Structure 1
Amino acid sequence: MNARPGREALTGVATGRRRERGEQPMVPDAEFTSYYGKPVINAPVWHSPDIPGYLFLGGLAGASSLLGAGAQATDRKALALAAKTGAFGAISLSLAALVHDLGRPARFLNMLRVLKVTSPMNVGSWLLAAYGPLAGAAAFSAVTGKLPRIGALATAGSATLGPAVAAYTAALVSDTAVPAWHDGYREMPYVFVGSGASAAGGLGLLAAPGPESAPARNLAVLGAALEIGMLKRMEHRLGMVAEPYHTGKGGKYLRAAEILSAAGVTGAVFGRGLVRRLSGAALIAASAATRWGIFHAGRDSANDPKYTVVPQRQRLRDRATSR
């Protein structure tokens, strides 16, 4: 009763009566065309660079907190300082980008009036509200050397919430009707977590001295492998819905991300000194390019009706033949 239709809701000519087996059509099946070529779903009203920046910086922040906690536990002070300050700077910029896209800060604060576990945006707002102060306290203690016990607790707290901060934005974009995002819900969290880990490792390679850079290198390599591997798996599974990941702005950004990731991983593994630092910068840029690519691919898939209707028809045919 009054349930909100999902991606399986019938649209266009697909709402016609299904023919019985053996029944001959009197006229040929109509080819789908949307009303005056208009999209059949509303494209997201999110804007660039605010939202892709918000997605990228949140992943960088969450993974950096985890790296900072590990560096502190292994007495890598310079790496811990870089990761903690990077995490706080990234989450501050991420919140600023989100609020700017929302239009005014009150809209973010309004989301904290209730806790709705079925809403990724609401859960994400609570995550950011809890994580931001913890990341700030950890960074303050690392920079000033004051309140070491509080700093240690804040480091542990931000590291605990860090993976969720890096991953929840994947649930946020997947919980939409945008075909290239919604249909990739299985792999998208792994892509986002891998992308965040790659960026955090890149930050460590860029800022930490060579003797302390091993954990950052390992995190960057594993993150890049997870990001690229799961993105390729998602594209293969989505079939024609994955076309926007190869064309237009989305395709350009994602091709750049692959090149930068390959260069960054190679430099991280084999490079020293300046080469290692440049590889860190390349990995950060690759992570950002991935988020921009996914953002634009989603918008393109929402604006073209075929990415909504053609897969929907295929699912209907598959169900009909399975009966």
Structure 2
Amino acid sequence: MARTWSRRRFLQVTMVGGGLLTAPGLIVGCDAVGLGNTLDKIRDAGVVKVGYSGERPYAYDDNGLVGAMPAVDRAVFERLGVDRLEGVLVPFRSLIGGVNSGAFDVISAGMFVNKARCEQIAFSEPIYCAQSALLVGKGNPKQLSDFDSIARTAATVAVLAAAVEESYAQSAGVRNEKIRVVGSQDEGLAQVARGQVDAFALTSISLRAMLERARRSGPAGPEGGPSEWANAVELLPPFTTVVDGKPRLGCGAAGFRKTDGSLREAYNRELAVLRREGRILELTAPYGFTEAEMPEPSVRTDDLCTIDTGGGVRGPLPR
């Protein structure tokens, strides 16, 4: 099942499969509350509540909670004796406040690890690493390639609310008035297709999955729709973002309350086993992940947490 709440409070309750959840007394702030031993609690209940933001291919509702991150989480928690995941759907910007308030126990959204977020929550070791990409109009009329090219041409770029691409663009010199924050992937796609912005910046993985879904959608309505929009755009090759002269590669991980050290340690232990067995790629491949997105053992969360913007200090991962 899934619970859905707005930036300030719950607006509705959404089903993601069997049963109904409510969440009274949600705290939107970022300070973690004391909730006892969460690992023992979820083992006793046989269920773990995970927060997600409906972003393909990371975690979304498709007749149940699916996506690359829930696939990994299910495998990890099954090894911990927890058989079921319950999804709590929230806006991306509300994930940290949600886990800290106790609305759910784990962030299962592919959230990038960075210094600002590490000050508020604890992260598992990285599950994947990804490069950025730009979605542009057919023919790439402004000949864009990366954030630097957006700054040079004074192009406009859409970024997903609370995602790292906004800070990447700012670091490259894109002026704030040229950055348009959108609330969903479809909104970013629509703005590019309609010529309202010159580009939509997100991870290559996300944009690839979004276009595949859009092309499979039904006929467009009078004002257009995803299938029509997808035919009006093109996805440029991925690139490594450079901030202050250092390459950044965003790496995503599960998020926990800082007070849940035993849960995080147990998660990391089982995640390491799955990685050694090659199961992380096996679990995420159906959602478009490849060997290129699998982090090397040397990519560690402790290092990612020292980075002010985005992810790690590497370029493309060694193959």
TM-score (norm 2): 0.23
Higher relative contact order (CA 8 A, sep 6+): 2
- Higher helix residue share: 1
Higher strand share: 2
TM (norm. structure 1) is 0.22
Larger radius of gyration: 1
